Structure 1
Amino acid sequence: MTKLSQRIIEILLRSLEDGLDHKKYYESEFKNGHGYLRIINYTPLKCLDDEVEGLGMHTDMSCVTIVYQDQIGGLQVKSREGKWMDINPCEETLVVNIGDMLQAWSNEKFRSSEHRVILKKPVNRFSLAFFWCFEDEKVIFAPDEVVGEGYARIYKPFVCSDYLKFRESSERGKFEKVGFTVRDFAGINL
């Protein structure tokens, strides 16, 4: 999964501006990243009369997240128009989400996907999620060449682990601040 994540990052870097030295940025910015795997079990309520949110709208904290969902489904992504779209399970298919750290590093050339999980059946739903991130002490700061001449910087520099701590501390008692994003943490008001 680490090799796949690294390959995805390389492809994404190549899709940036013509003339951008994607190899230079991969080596200097992404080479020391790491990943972790979560097995996620969504347990439905005993009585499921209607659709129930298993996990509310959120963005991932990672650079990229690779997801395998079981055949139960329930993953939804928000479209540009603000509508929720089902990501139906397909055998031998993985879903790739851009995460907040890549969004900040790219000065929003890449956008973190807003998504949620909806429980539609009264059975447990399982998914595997591999989160690939920068190293904990990395300072996330969009390089000038990535920001682009004439464009404003959208994020102030921040340390990766500080953002993770921000998202993991929650008054609501959940494992992360659902609905909060990197803009809430390090966004510059333009």
Structure 2
Amino acid sequence: MTELSKRIVEAVLMSLGESFEQKFYDSEFRNCHGYLRIINYTPPKSVTQEEVEGLGMHTDMSCITIVYQDQIGGLQVRSKEGKWLDINPCEETLLVNIGDLMHAWSNGKLRSSEHRVVLKRLVNRFSLAFFWCFEDEKAIYAPNEVVGEGHLRAYKPFVCADYLKFREISSTNGEKKFEKVGFTVKDFAGTSTD
């Protein structure tokens, strides 16, 4: 998954401009790391409406996230117009989300996808998610070449670990969870230009 993440980020950097991959991959993304989570969404005992929210609207805190969802489905992504679109599961297919760290690093040129999970059936839903992130101590600051001449930075510089703390919530048993639903990097480091 780490090798796949590297290849995806290299391709994404190439989409930003000629030679971006060569110039920025080693200097900016060399120390990225990843972690895999198995996510189980347990439905309520009964469903009184057509769909039940399994996890509310959120963005991922990673640079990129690679997701495999089971055949149950339920993943939805929000379009630029604000409409929720179903991402139907497809065997042997992985979904790639741009996360908040890449969104801020790219000065908003790469959009962190707002997504949610809805449960439409009374069965457990599983997904695998691989989050590929900058190292905790990395300062996120969009390079001049990415911002572009004459444009302003949409995000104030910040340290990854500080953003993780911003998104962190403590559960009742003291465990830390990083899913402060509804908050994004815009809430943490956005400027008035974004």
The TM-score, its normalising length taken from structure 1, stands at 0.95
Q: Secondary structure of 1:135's match?
A: coil
Q: Which residue of 1 aligns with 2:10?
A: 10
Give 1:46's aligned residue.
Answer: 45
Asked whether the 8 Å contact 2:167–2:179 carries over to 1, the reply is yes
Using the TM superposition, give the Cα deviation of residue 17 of structure 1 relative to its aligned residue in structure 2, in angstroms: 2.4
The farther-off stretch of 173-182 and 36-45 is 173-182
RMSD over aligned CA atoms reads 1.6
Q: In the alignment, is residue 158 of structure 1 matched against residue 161 of structure 2?
A: no
Aligned residues: 189
Compute the displacement of 1:176 (Å).
2.1
Runs of at least 5 residues in structure 1 that lack an aligned partner in the other structure: none
**Cα distance change of structure 1 residues 175 and 10 upon mapping to structure 2, 3 Å threshold:** closer
Shift of 1:169: 3.0
Q: Decide which of 179, 182, 186 is 1:179's aligned counterpart.
A: 182
1:105 alignment partner in structure 2 = 105
Q: Is contact 2:14–2:21 with CA below 8 Å preserved after alignment? A: yes
Pair 1:72-2:75 in alignment: no
Note the C-alpha offset of 1:188.
1.1
TM-score, length basis structure 2: 0.93
Displacement of 1:7? 0.5
Distance in 2 (alpha carbons) for counterparts of 1:175 and 1:133: 13
Work out the CA distance in 1 between the residues paired with 2:70 and 2:92: 10
Distance in 1 of aligned mates of 2:70 and 2:168: 26
Matched to 1:154, the amino acid is A
Q: Write the deviation string for residues 119-152 of structure 1: whole angstroms up to 9, x where unpaired.
A: 0000000000000000110000000010000111
Could you list the runs of 5+ residues in structure 2 that have no partner in the other structure?
none
Quick one: distance in 2 between partners of 1:21 and 1:106?
11
The CA deviation at 1:44 is 0.2
Contact in 2 for aligned 1:67/1:130 (Cα 8 Å): yes
Deviations 1:99-123 (A, max 9, x none): 0000000001100000000000000
Alpha-carbon distance, 1:21 to partner: 3.5
Shift of 1:177: 1.3
| Whole-angstrom CA distance in 2 between matches of 1:118 and 1:174 | 20
Q: Which piece of structure 1 moves more, 55-64 or 165-174?
A: 165-174
Residues 41 and 127 in structure 1, CA contact (< 8 A), matched pair in contact too: yes
CA distance in 1 between counterparts of 2:177 and 2:35 reads 19
Matches within 5 A, 1:58-97: 58-97=58-97
Match of 1:33 in 2: 32
Per the TM alignment, residue 170 of structure 1 is displaced from its structure 2 partner at its CA by: 6.4
- In 1, Cα distance between equivalents of 2:20 and 2:99: 22
